[in-house]
């Protein structure tokens, strides 16, 4: 049973699962020389891309690493953000908590946002909604998200519609079957990862940029901006955060040919 | 700092600060003379001769505004002992010089420490993946030298890669030393668990590596900083909000502080700093990221030009795993205070009694 679930699981993974890195990586080259447009990624590849522009003459919105294409520096931390919305147990601080909306990610292809992931539901007649909790392969989704076949989350104990809403394909689902916005995945993830949610709420887990004062305005990075929920059990390092390319090492001191000297020439005991 | 804050600073030209002596561009070694105090002392003999000629005659010889700025700069005092007026003049001088040198409007901020703030930092050592983005973000923000030749590349953050060691069966019979001598177990000299020696030059294709943990190290902003104790000219000191700063103009480059620091946090500009115009960050602080000269020591100052304006330091913002946390230690609701209250926290080399305000934690 478990095996069957994980095999079939993939296919229903929706366009909404755009967070899928394999696909998005192809979409986001570090540089597009033809347009001389620099596109960098923020926390992890595939989650949020930024096009480099000048906010003011000589003041870019981001500075990017030439080696990895990662954003190294934000000229304006609140560029393109929206208020996060209500969250349980979070003191209501209007305008102080902002996130970058992820809805644009829904329109991977024009038809995704109109046909199924339109916030309403599949408009096929009759709508092909799942009758039970047994995943069925959808060839379209399977072709678009080959990585979905390797679904690594929950070790075979969860399936698509535990997180994605049945009829509103551009929403997540909470314990009562009500939709959750894609901008607030913490309300979904916190259903199981309560300890992480608590630390994230207090600023201990996860990333924030902006003002450091506890009452200051901050852009919070939400769960899916750092973690790929379809691939949190990364096989190589299994730490939740996928491996990435490091920046260049520092300059070696004058005269040192490589950094292995002390490893090769043991120190006398 | 938000970009709209740039134009708020008064134009440098508004501050009429030159005394006659300062206006005189009596620089006998020519316009190429560098800005370092050491060079100035070398040229001291010639300068004293020229000063004997009389300031008045020198004023008339003034043709280079840049040189005039430097002349005044050489006679400015220790920043801590300056009056507010003198500080403002010193910053205006620098703004003029930097703006000309880098071809853009450079702001040299002088914002003082805020009341009721003691800055603190926490780093989740379990989360760090060793990607070095903090290192590069620091360089982009803080105007470090970035040339290709030896000594021209300066980075304030070091990321140490710590190997995970273990016991091995094949070493069981490797006694030490052979023959006579005190016999020890064969695994005596192999690291077990996480070793405390790290190396910083790792270059794998992907991080984190399987058998490694990573430990970033930079200035710990000690409450009892040994570097401040040893500085013979007292140019490095602790600010009221806890950050240990350097007045680069007063630094003589003796490197006493580098020897005293147990955290390898300080860097000397051995060569003339290489800072391309287009990469230069024009938002600077006098005690922070303003461009340095050859022969002075520099180090992390928790991005004073940002943190004094309320913004997170650059390394905190860039960390892709959110391992770096920054805030006010006196505010019980701040991120660092909550970490100190809830998590397992340690200070690096706590036995040195330097009392860092940089905490490592894990969960």
Say yes or no: A221 contacts chain B, CB-CB below 8 A. Answer: yes
Domain co-membership, B184 together with B255: no
Three-state secondary-structure class, residue B109? strand
pLDDT over threshold 80, residue B192? no
In a domain, B241, yes or no: yes
Q: Say what the pLDDT of residue B251 is.
A: 96
Cβ of A247 within 8 Å of Cβ of B133? The answer is: yes
**Rounded CA separation B331/A214 (Å):** 8
Please tell me the predicted confidence (pLDDT) of residue A248: 93
Q: Give the pLDDT band (50/70/90) at residue A157.
A: confident
Q: How confident is the model at residue B269, as a pLDDT? A: 95
Q: What is the mean pLDDT of residues B46-58?
A: 45
A63, A199, A212 ranked by CB distance to B307: nearest: A212
Q: Indicate whether B97 and B202 sit together in one domain.
A: no
C-alpha distances out from residue B199 to A150, A255, B66, B217, Å = 35, 17, 43, 12
Task: Give the DSSP letter of residue B215.
Answer: E
Q: Are residues B23 and B70 both part of a single domain?
A: yes
Q: Residue B154 — left, alpha, or beta (φ > 0 → left; ψ -120 to 50 → alpha)?
A: beta
In a domain, B163, yes or no: yes
Evaluate whether residue B251 is within a structural domain.
yes
The residue that leads in pLDDT, A144 or A39, is A39
Token digits of residue A123: 């408009």
How confident is residue B51, by pLDDT bands cut at 50, 70 and 90?
very low
Average pLDDT over residues B106-110: 95
B 266-325 near A (Cβ less than 8 A): 282, 307, 310-312, 314, 316-322, 325
Decide if B246 is inside a domain. yes
Distance CA A18, CA A104 (A): 10
User: pLDDT of A44-100, one tens digit each?
Assistant: 887 888 999 999 888 899 999 999 999 999 999 999 898 887 766 666 566 789 998
Please tell me the predicted confidence (pLDDT) of residue B245: 97
Q: Which of B136, B153, B316 comes nearest A251 by C-beta? A: B153
Q: Are residues B204 and B101 in the same domain?
A: no
Does residue B114 lie in a domain region?
Answer: no
Which residues in chain B touch residue A93, judged by CB atoms under 8 angstroms apart?
none
Question: Å from A125 to nearest chain B CA?
Answer: 44
pLDDT in tens, A238-248: 567 888 899 99
Total of domains in chain B: 3
Same domain, B146 and B93: no
Is residue A166 over pLDDT 50? yes
For residues B196 and B98, state if they share a domain.
no
The answer on B238 and B123 residing in a single domain is: yes
Same domain, B12 and B59: yes
Residue B225 lies in a domain: yes
Instruction: State yes or no: pLDDT of A187 exceeds 80.
Output: yes
B150 touches chain A (CB under 8 A): yes
| pLDDT tier for residue B164 given thresholds of 50, 70 and 90 | confident
Q: What is the arithmetic mean of pLDDT over B247-255?
A: 95
- Which residues of chain B have a CB within 8 Å of the CB of A262? 199
Instruction: Note whether A257 contacts B: Cβ–Cβ < 8 A.
Output: no
pLDDT surpasses 60 at B174:
yes
Mean pLDDT of all residues in B75-99: 94
Whether residue B286 lies inside any domain: the answer is no
| Pair (B265, B323) in one structural domain | yes
Stronger pLDDT, B2 or A191, i.e. the higher one: A191
B246 and B206 housed in the same domain: no
State what percent of residues in chain A have pLDDT above 90: 28
Task: Give me the domain span that covers residue B181.
Answer: 159-212
d(CA A233, CA A242): 9
Q: Cα–chain-centroid distance for residue A228?
A: 5
Looking up residue B137, the CATH number of its domain turns out to be: 3.30.70.20
Of A146 and B212, which is predicted with more confidence? B212
Q: How many CB atoms lie within 10 A of CB B295?
A: 22
Q: What ipTM describes this predicted complex? A: 0.79
Q: Say whether both B105 and B125 belong to one domain.
A: no
pLDDT at residue A77 in the model: 94
Residue B31 has pLDDT above 70, yes or no: no
Asked whether residue B88 falls in the same domain as residue B149, the answer is no
Chain A residues with beta carbon closer than 8 angstroms to that of B310? 211-213, 216
Residue B277 domain-assigned (yes or no): yes
Give residues 48 to 107 of A whose Cβ lies within 8 Å of B: 55-56, 58-59, 63, 65, 70-77
Find out whether A122 and A169 touch, Cβ atoms under 8 Å: yes
Span A205-229, pLDDT tens digits: 999 999 999 999 999 999 999 988 8
- Give how far the C-alpha of residue B234 lies from the chain's centroid of Cα atoms, to the nearest Å: 16
The Cα–Cα gap between B280 and B225 comes to 30
Mean pLDDT of chain A: 76
Q: What is the dihedral of CA A25, A29, A30, A35, to 10 degrees?
A: -150
Q: What percent of chain B has pLDDT over 70?
A: 76
Contact A164, A189 (CB under 8 A): no
Q: Do B131 and A43 touch (CB under 8 A)?
A: no
Is A247 an 8 Å CB contact of chain B?
A: yes
pLDDT of residue B85: 95
Most confident of A47-51, B124-128, B199-203, B313-317: B313-317
Q: What is the mean pLDDT of residues B107-130?
A: 95
Flag if A73 and B135 touch (Cβ within 8 Å): no
Q: Inspect the interface and report whether the beta carbons of B310 and A208 lie closer than 8 Å.
A: no
Of A40, A72, A61, the C-alpha closest to B318 is: A72
Our CA-based measurement puts residue B43 at a distance from the nearest CA of chain A, in whole angstroms, of 29
């Amino acid at each position: 049973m478990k095996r069957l679930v994980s095999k079939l699981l993939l296919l229903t993974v929706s366009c909404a699962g755009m967070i899928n890195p394999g696909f998005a990586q192809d979409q986001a080259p570090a540089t597009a020389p033809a347009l001389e447009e620099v596109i960098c990624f923020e926390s992890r590849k595939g989650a949020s891309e930024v096009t480099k522009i000048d906010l003011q003459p000589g003041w870019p919105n981001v500075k990017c690493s030439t080696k990895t294409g990662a954003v190294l520096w934000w000229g304006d931390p609140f560029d393109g953000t929206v208020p996060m919305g209500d969250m349980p147990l979070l003191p209501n601080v209007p305008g102080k908590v902002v996130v970058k909306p992820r809805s644009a990610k829904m329109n991977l292809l024009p038809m995704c946002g109109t046909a199924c992931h339109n916030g309403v539901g599949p408009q096929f007649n009759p709508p092909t909604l799942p009758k039970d909790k047994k995943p069925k392969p959808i060839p379209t989704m399977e072709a678009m998200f080959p990585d979905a076949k390797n679904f690594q989350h929950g070790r075979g104990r969860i399936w698509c519609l535990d997180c994605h809403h049945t009829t509103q394909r551009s929403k997540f689902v909470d314990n009562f079957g009500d939709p959750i916005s894609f901008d607030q995945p913490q309300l979904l993830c916190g259903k199981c990862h309560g300890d992480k949610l608590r630390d994230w709420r207090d600023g201990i887990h996860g990333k924030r940029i902006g003002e450091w004062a506890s009452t200051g305005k901050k852009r919070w990075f939400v769960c899916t901006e750092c973690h790929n929920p379809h691939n949190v059990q990364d096989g190589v390092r299994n730490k939740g955060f996928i491996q990435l390319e490091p920046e260049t090492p520092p300059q070696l001191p004058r005269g040192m040919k490589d950094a292995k000297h002390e490893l090769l020439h043991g120190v006398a005991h | 700092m938000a970009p709209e804050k740039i134009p708020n600073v008064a134009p440098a030209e508004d501050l009429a600060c030159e005394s006659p002596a300062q206006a005189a561009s009596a620089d006998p070694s020519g316009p190429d003379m560098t800005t370092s105090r050491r060079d100035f002392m070398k040229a001291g003999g010639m300068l004293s001769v020229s000063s004997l000629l009389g300031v008045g005659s020198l004023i008339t010889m003034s043709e280079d505004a840049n040189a005039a700025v430097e002349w005044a700069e050489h006679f400015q005092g220790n920043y801590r002992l300056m009056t507010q007026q003198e500080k403002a003049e010193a910053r205006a001088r620098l703004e003029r010089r930097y703006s000309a040198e880098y071809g853009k409007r450079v702001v040299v901020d002088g914002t003082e420490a805020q009341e009721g703030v003691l800055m603190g930092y926490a780093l989740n050592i379990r989360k760090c993946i060793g990607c070095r983005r903090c290192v590069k973000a620091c360089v982009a923000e803080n105007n470090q030298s970035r040339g290709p030749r030896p000594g021209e590349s300066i980075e304030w953050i070091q990321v140490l890669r710590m190997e995970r060691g273990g016991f091995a069966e094949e070493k069981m019979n490797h006694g030490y030393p052979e023959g006579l001598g005190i016999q020890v177990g064969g695994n005596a000299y192999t690291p077990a668990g996480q070793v405390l020696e790290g190396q910083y030059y790792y270059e794998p294709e992907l991080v984190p590596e399987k058998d490694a943990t990573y430990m970033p190290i930079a200035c710990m902003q000690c409450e009892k900083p040994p570097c401040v104790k040893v500085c013979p000219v007292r140019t490095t000191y602790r600010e009221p909000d806890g950050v240990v700063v350097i007045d680069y103009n007063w630094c003589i480059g003796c490197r006493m502080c580098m020897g005293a620091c147990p955290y390898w946090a300080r860097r000397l500009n051995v060569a003339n700093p290489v800072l391309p115009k287009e990469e230069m960050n024009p938002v600077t602080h006098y005690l922070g990221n303003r461009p340095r000269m050859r022969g002075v020591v520099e180090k992390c100052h928790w991005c004073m030009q940002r943190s004094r304006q309320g913004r997170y330091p650059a390394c905190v913002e860039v960390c892709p795993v959110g391992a770096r946390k920054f805030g006010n230690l006196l505010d019980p609701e701040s991120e660092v205070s909550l970490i100190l209250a809830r998590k397992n926290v340690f200070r690096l080399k706590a036995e040195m009694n330097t009392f860092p305000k940089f905490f490592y934690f894990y969960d």
